[in-house]
Amino acid sequence: MTAESRADPRGYVEAVRVALVAEGIEIGEMVSPEPGRSTRMLGLSIDGPHFQDTEWLDLIWDEEFGWTVHKAFLTGGTRGRSHSADGLGLGLVPEPATVARYVATVLGSRESFSDRGRRYRRAFRPDPDLEAALSAYS
């Protein structure tokens, strides 16, 4: 499968962005942090007392891991900041409303994003099911 025949994930990620906004979550623009790879990132607005040490929080979709939350938080002292990445464990292309509800639940509670993620596939292997799922949002 050539890069030209691959489905573009932007439509799917945009549908998730719209679902997040419908849940009342403020987000930033969609960016692609890794050129040449099907990865899209949405910056999440962080609010609430349990995010006081959080510098930034990004929701990232990747063609291998699905949805992952990346967090940078201040650690104090000489170490400065630390990073964590937690998979949502929802599969590669879950319904946008499912992603939004999960994120809203965690942001609105004292729960944390737990690492339930795993690699679902390898990016270099063709996956007609993934392509079909992403094409549905084009």
Report whether pLDDT(1) > 50.
Answer: no
For residue 17, the one-letter residue type is R
Domain count, the chain: 1
The string of pLDDT tens digits covering residues 95-135 is 999 999 988 888 877 666 666 668 888 888 889 999 999 99
Q: What does the alpha-carbon distance between residue 106 and residue 100 come to, in Å, rounded to a whole number? A: 10
Q: Which domain holds residue 59?
A: 3-135
User: How many whole angstroms separate alpha carbon 47 and alpha carbon 25?
Assistant: 10
3-state secondary structure 51-87: HCCEEEEEEEEECCCEEEEEEEEEEECCCEEEEEEEE
Distance CA 20, CA 26 (A): 8
Choose among 92, 93, 89, 88: nearest CA to 136.
93
* pLDDT of residue 93 exceeding 60: yes
**pTM of the predicted protein model:** 0.82
